[in-house]
Amino acid sequence: MEKEEKLIRTINRRFNKGVVEYGLIDEGDKILVGLSGGKDSLALLELLAERSRIYKPRFSVVAAHVAMTNIAYESDTDYLRTFAEAFGVPFVRYETSFDPSTDTRKSPCFLCSWNRRKALFTVAKEQGCNKIALGHHQDDILETLLMNMTFQGAISTMPPRLVMRKFDMTIIRPLCLVHEAELAELAQIRGYQKQVKNCPYEHDSHRADMKSVLKALEQMNPEARYSLWSSMANIQEDLLPVRIDRSY
């Protein structure tokens, strides 16, 4: 019991620190939570719903589940609705689909993710929300950093706060400082119900490979994740290669 309480305190501390440090919530916000049904989104909804009742600034929460009809992902809508409403959060289900042949330059994973995101923008506008909260945790963000450096040649990742001016919407990631292992433990304690996932494109992604890379780095240095996180705000340009323009 003491171990469980310590875990919950740790998650709450990291969650609240992320919200405050990156300015994720403002007075009067109406936040749409993307509720996929995975442990991360369930934990995010629980944490945001609890915070909305206790802390200032005051804000409200709506939960949205996007069902991608051409992907074999079986979600228990009744469970998700009951889960959300138990925290006093309204629940919306929205159906959409995508055709992977429309843009062969992009991976099916990217197209699915982007179409889910567009659906969330649609629901957010319909519900009068000004922010969308996604359940990406620290591991997700660091794995994306490693993937972008390895495959895109760019030092970039999913930021805790992203203003989408084109859509007049802000995306926030309140779990940005929470570890995936902690969320897995919380899911066991809370008894979150797993959804059935049979995505045909799941093995096309390099994310599983980057999970292994991150674990290997942590075996070399237990503080590796914190060093990687700090490095994103500690770019020493004087010690990086700079091209000289010799065109004149």
Q: Which tens digit of pLDDT belongs to each residue from 10-51?
A: 999 999 999 999 999 999 999 999 999 999 999 999 999 999
Q: What is the pLDDT of residue 72?
A: 63
What are phi and psi for residue 199, nearest 5 degrees? Answer: -70, 125
Q: Which fold has domain 2-204?
A: Rossmann fold (3.40.50)
pLDDT digits (tens, 9 = 90+) for 75-92: 789 999 999 999 999 999
Using the 8-state DSSP alphabet, how is residue 152 labeled? I
Residue 226: pLDDT above 90? yes
Q: Please report the pLDDT score of residue 67 as a whole number.
A: 85
- pLDDT classification of 111: cutoffs 50, 70, 90: confident
pLDDT in tens, 182-222: 999 999 999 999 876 655 555 556 888 999 999 999 999 99
pLDDT-derived band at 108 (thresholds 50, 70, 90) equals low
8 Å CB contact between 171 and 134: yes
At 205 the pLDDT is 65
Return the minimum-mean-pLDDT range out of 30-34, 84-88, 137-141, 242-246. Answer: 242-246
Angle at Cα 191 formed by Cα 109 and Cα 214, nearest 5°?
Answer: 45
pLDDT of residue 132: 98
Tell me the pTM. Answer: 0.91
The pLDDT, as a whole number, for residue 116 is: 85
- What is the arithmetic mean of pLDDT over 111-126? 87
Average pLDDT score, the chain = 90
- pLDDT beyond 80 at 1: no
Q: What is the largest CA-CA distance in the chain?
A: 71
Question: Per-residue pLDDT for 248 more than 80?
Answer: no
Output the pLDDT for position 220.
Answer: 97
Domains of the chain, by residue range, sit at 2-204
What's the pLDDT at 96? 84
Q: What is the pLDDT of residue 136?
A: 97
Q: What is the DSSP string of 64-108?
A: EEEEETTS-EE--HHHHHHHHHHTT--EEEEEE---GGG-TTS-H
Tell me how far apart the alpha carbons of residues 98 and 69 are, in angstroms, rounded to a whole number.
Answer: 8
